[in-house]
Structure 1
Amino acid sequence: MSITFIILSALFLGFYAMLSRFKKQRKSFNFRVLSALVGGLMFGGAIQLTLGFNNEMLTGFTELISVFGKGYIKLLQMIVIPLVFVAMISAIMNVDGGGALSKIAPKVLATLIFTVAISAVVGVAAVYIFGIDANALVTTVGSNSDIHMREHSLASTQTSMESLGLSGLFLSIIPGNIFDMLTGSERTSTLSTVLFGMFLGYSILQVKKRRPEKVQNFIDFINAAKEVVLSMVREILKLTPYGVFALMTSFMMTNDLFALAEMGRFLLASYAAIFVMYAIHLIMVAVFGLSPIQFAQKTWPVLVFGFGSRSSMAAIPLNVQTQTERLGVDEETANMSATFGTSIGQNGCAGIYPAMLAIMAAQVMGMPIDLSFMLQLVAVIAIASFGIAGVGGGATFAAVAVLTIMGLDITVVAILVSIEALIDMARTALNISGSMLSGVITSKQNKTLDVDAYNGEQTGEAEAIV
């Protein structure tokens, strides 16, 4: 056991002790998560600047912190499918009348698709405003062996998607086996779970109308199951500051900071597009007569969580609780927008990123980028945004899907491997903002929004975590 491992481990565990002390001092959950995020970035960056990139002395320490970081992500993944399943059934079956599907779902979906189309336009604009030259990028970093390995992997994904086609993409959402669906083994498992949960909830509603006594026990079971699952979620979320610190430390240690500078313009363009799209979210809130300042202030803790975890699905509990307790959204709409937003119309992963890569791929192939190309690209992105997994890496799948449908080369996707994770953090935060926006707008349109709660002062945390 090397002295380097001992020192780094002591510092790492020392920060964990400080986070625990923050909790005892009753520091807010948001404060602890943000402290962990900033601390992890600084600690990991300091390690790389001091010991270099891929130093063999760091192998043992990297394995140690991966237990904390990856273990936390595995716990989140473990609970996602049960949470989505019971939340969606509960949201539908507890509605008085059958209005959830007809009044809520179409408006949530319309908002998500509309915003992802706008985000595609923003992504295209960012490429031209920042003058990104894909040919120069390919020439500069195209010989890296890691890139070639990823390109080979993506090529096999592209081949399978070409054989699947658009019809196959839609049909894959319908689960052929609900038990296989509940394992979460497919990229569309979350959306399939939402679909089945909605269908089951609607069926329960029909039985309630005819023979309510026959289904009451099952309704009680689902409501009880939801409370138990939410209790499990709260216990896992208590570990968030510790998981975020490990993830950020690992990220800064394992990504070559000096190599990132080669792609700095694309990185800057991506973040600029994400911030512009977030500003559009706030404008849309104002258009519907609500305060964008209140929306920003009350949603930012969830965005910080998404930034650190890189998972829209992991943020579902905080997403729903923020909508219902801080923004005044009714529970049915909040559940639907939060779950739909993990797989449909993700503004960052399914909108901005694929649009930017499509333009760059067209540049490399020498294809004319005219109005017809642009309109086709926006339409394809809106359609292909269905079924994008709400975890780290979903944007890559979305980009491959769009480029495959457009008949473009996927080399540029592989080239951006070194900065994928760094962009993904901000993309995830934007995805979550889009899902909460769809909930607020839908609730406002349906006149179910508690405007007093929306405009009221914040009262405590966005979650019951202490």
Structure 2
Amino acid sequence: MSFTLLALSAIFLGFYVVLSRFKKQKKSFNFRVLSALVGGLLFGGIIQVVLGTDSAAGLQFSELISLFGNGYVKLLQMIVIPLVFVAMTASIMNVEGTSALSKIAPKVIGVLIFTVAISAVIGIASIYLFNIDANSLVNAMGTSTAIEARSDSLLSTQELMSNNTFTSLVLSIIPTNIFEMLTGAERTSTLSTVLFGMFLGFSILQVKKRKPEKVQSFVDFINAAKEVVLSMVREILKLTPYGVFALMTKFMMSNDLFALSEMGRFVIASYAAIAAMFIVHLVLVGLFGLSPKTFAKKSWPVLVFGFGSRSSMAAIPLNVETQTQRLGVDEETANMSATFGTSIGQNGCAGIYPAMLAIMAAQVMGIPIDLSFVLQLIAVIAIASFGIAGVGGGATFAAVAVLTIMGLDITIVAILVSIEALIDMARTALNISGSMLSGVLTAKTNGSLNTEQYKAQALSNTTNGEIPA
């Protein structure tokens, strides 16, 4: 083992010690996550400048810290399907009657689809406002081995999608084997789990009306399972600062800074579009007679957590807790909006990003971008937003799906994968904001929103985005 590798490892572990001390000093969870984020970007950037991307010590160190970064991501992926299953089943079965269910679900989905369509429009506009020239970007990046490898991988995914008809895609959401579905092996596993959880929860509701004593033990089991899974999620989330530091360090040291600078304008355009969509969320809150400032202030800790973790699914517990304890949303609506928002109508990953890439791909291919093209693109994005998993990499899949349906080349997706993590943080925060917005607006229109709690200044212990014990 070289001295350089030992030195890098010592510094890396030293920062972990600092993060641990921050926790003992009662520093907020969000402070620790942001510290890890900034520290990782700086540490990785310094390594990249000093050692480059191809040094032996750098490659060995990158492989070593993958154990921490990728291990954290794997833990999040491990808990996704169980969390979605118990959260959806419990949220449906605990609704007071099927009439209440029919008032909640359509509105939640409606808000998500409406906002993802708006986000697509904003994504399209950002390309022109920032004068993004896809041809110049493609020429500047060239056709490196890494880009060609990513293109080949994405082409296989595109080929698989292109062989499916709309009917087969819809049918693929219906699970034929629930045990295989629970493994998360298929790309539609998340939406299939949502669907099965809805059916199971609805069936429990029906039995509760006829023979409540027969189903009570099963209801207790589901509620207990939900508590156990949420406890697992909380334990995993406590590792977030450490996982974020490893992921950001590897991201910066593995990417050429010149290449990142070439895509700087796209990054800025993406963040501007995301910021604009946040403003749209606040405007919608105001249009429904609620304070945008209150919504922003109370949702902020959850958004910061999503920014650091890059997983809207991991944020489900904090999302629900914030909606119910701070925003005055009833538990049924909060559970449903938080869960639906992880796989339907994600404003950032399934709206803004695919829209921007579709326009860029059309530019490269010389396709006229007229009103007909734009309207078709918005409709495709709204439909394709069903089933996009709320974990890292969902935006890439959404982009490939949209470009495939539109008949566009996916090379631009392969080029931009290198900056995926940098943009995905803000996209995830926007996804979470969209799900919380759907919960608040649904509760408001259904008359179930506790407006006094929404207006209250006294904040619960979720103020700092802490992970409950």
| TM above 0.5 | yes
Q: Which letter maps to 2:460?
A: T
Q: 2 CA distance for matches of 1:266 and 1:125?
A: 13
Deviations 1:280-326 (A, max 9, x none): 11111111111212222222222222222222212222212221222
Moved more, 244-253 or 456-465: 456-465
Q: Which letter maps to 2:236?
A: I
Q: Structure 1 38/99 Cα, relative in aligned 2: closer, same or farther at 3 Å? A: farther
Q: Are 2:130 and 2:269, in contact at CA under 8 Å, matched by a contact in 1? A: yes
Q: Are 1:343 and 1:385, in contact at CA under 8 Å, matched by a contact in 2? A: yes
Q: Are 2:349 and 2:428, in contact at CA under 8 Å, matched by a contact in 1? A: yes
Q: What does residue range 245-284 of structure 1 map to in structure 2 within 5 Å?
A: 245-284=245-284
Counterpart of 1:109 in structure 2 is 109
Shift in Å, 1:464? 4.4
Q: 1 CA distance for matches of 2:241 and 2:135?
A: 41
Q: What does residue range 355-394 of structure 1 map to in structure 2 within 5 Å?
A: 355-394=355-394
Q: 1 CA distance for matches of 2:298 and 2:336?
A: 19
Deviations 1:334-366 (A, max 9, x none): 111111111111111111111111111111222
Q: 1 CA distance for matches of 2:456 and 2:409?
A: 51
Q: 1 CA distance for matches of 2:100 and 2:229?
A: 22
> Match of 1:164, SS?
coil
1:460 maps onto 2:461 in alignment: yes
Q: 1 CA distance for matches of 2:393 and 2:104?
A: 29
Q: Which letter maps to 1:204?
A: I
Counterpart of 1:332 in structure 2 is 332
Counterpart of 2:427 in structure 1 is 427
Moved more, 346-355 or 141-150: 141-150
Q: Which letter maps to 1:417?
A: V
Counterpart of 1:307 in structure 2 is 307
Shift in Å, 1:52? 2.2
Q: 2 CA distance for matches of 1:425 and 1:233?
A: 19
Counterpart of 1:447 in structure 2 is 447
Shift in Å, 1:420? 2.2
Q: Structure 1 426/54 Cα, relative in aligned 2: closer, same or farther at 3 Å? A: farther
Aligned length: 466
Q: Are 1:92 and 1:100, in contact at CA under 8 Å, matched by a contact in 2? A: no
Shift in Å, 1:463? 4.6
Q: 2 CA distance for matches of 1:248 and 1:63?
A: 14
Q: Are 1:238 and 1:465, in contact at CA under 8 Å, matched by a contact in 2? A: no
Q: Structure 1 145/303 Cα, relative in aligned 2: closer, same or farther at 3 Å? A: same
Q: Are 1:8 and 1:61, in contact at CA under 8 Å, matched by a contact in 2? A: yes
Q: 2 CA distance for matches of 1:312 and 1:187?
A: 17
Q: Which letter maps to 1:388?
A: I
Q: Are 1:100 and 1:332, in contact at CA under 8 Å, matched by a contact in 2? A: no
Q: Unaligned 5+ residue runs, structure 1?
A: none
Q: Structure 1 452/464 Cα, relative in aligned 2: closer, same or farther at 3 Å? A: farther
Counterpart of 1:227 in structure 2 is 227
> Match of 2:163, SS?
helix
Q: 2 CA distance for matches of 1:406 and 1:9?
A: 46
Q: Which letter maps to 1:134?
A: A
Q: Which letter maps to 1:25?
A: Q
Q: Are 1:349 and 1:427, in contact at CA under 8 Å, matched by a contact in 2? A: yes
Q: What does residue range 17-416 of structure 1 map to in structure 2 within 5 Å?
A: 17-416=17-416
Q: Are 1:303 and 1:433, in contact at CA under 8 Å, matched by a contact in 2? A: yes
Shift in Å, 1:46? 2.0
Shift in Å, 1:59? 2.6
Q: Are 2:303 and 2:429, in contact at CA under 8 Å, matched by a contact in 1? A: yes
Q: 2 CA distance for matches of 1:15 and 1:452?
A: 43
Q: Are 1:354 and 1:398, in contact at CA under 8 Å, matched by a contact in 2? A: yes
Q: Which letter maps to 2:105?
A: A
Shift in Å, 1:95? 1.6
Q: Which letter maps to 1:313?
A: M
Q: 1 CA distance for matches of 2:238 and 2:154?
A: 36
Shift in Å, 1:145? 2.0
Deviations 1:425-448 (A, max 9, x none): 221111111111111111111121
> Match of 2:164, SS?
helix
Moved more, 113-122 or 21-30: 21-30
Root mean square deviation of aligned Cα: 1.5
Deviations 1:191-240 (A, max 9, x none): 11111111111111111111111111111111111111111122112212
Shift in Å, 1:406? 1.3
> Match of 1:139, SS?
helix
Shift in Å, 1:144? 1.8
Q: 2 CA distance for matches of 1:24 and 1:416?
A: 39
Q: Which letter maps to 2:154?
A: L
Moved more, 231-240 or 275-284: 231-240
Moved more, 204-213 or 135-144: 135-144
Q: 1 CA distance for matches of 2:267 and 2:30?
A: 27
Shift in Å, 1:127? 0.9
Shift in Å, 1:100? 4.4
Q: Which letter maps to 1:465?
A: P
Shift in Å, 1:61? 2.0
Shift in Å, 1:63? 2.3
Q: Are 2:237 and 2:314, in contact at CA under 8 Å, matched by a contact in 1? A: no
Q: Are 1:344 and 1:387, in contact at CA under 8 Å, matched by a contact in 2? A: yes
Percent identity among equivalent residues? 76
Q: Which letter maps to 1:212?
A: P
Shift in Å, 1:421? 2.2
Q: 1 CA distance for matches of 2:106 and 2:338?
A: 14
Q: Unaligned 5+ residue runs, structure 2?
A: none
Q: 1 CA distance for matches of 2:409 and 2:169?
A: 20
**TM-score after normalising by structure 1:** 0.96
Q: Which letter maps to 1:18?
A: V
Q: 1 CA distance for matches of 2:88 and 2:105?
A: 11
Deviations 1:76-114 (A, max 9, x none): 111121111111111111122113430111011000100
Q: Which letter maps to 2:243?
A: G
Q: 2 CA distance for matches of 1:207 and 1:230?
A: 26
Q: 2 CA distance for matches of 1:140 and 1:397?
A: 24
Q: 2 CA distance for matches of 1:24 and 1:152?
A: 47
Q: 2 CA distance for matches of 1:455 and 1:245?
A: 36
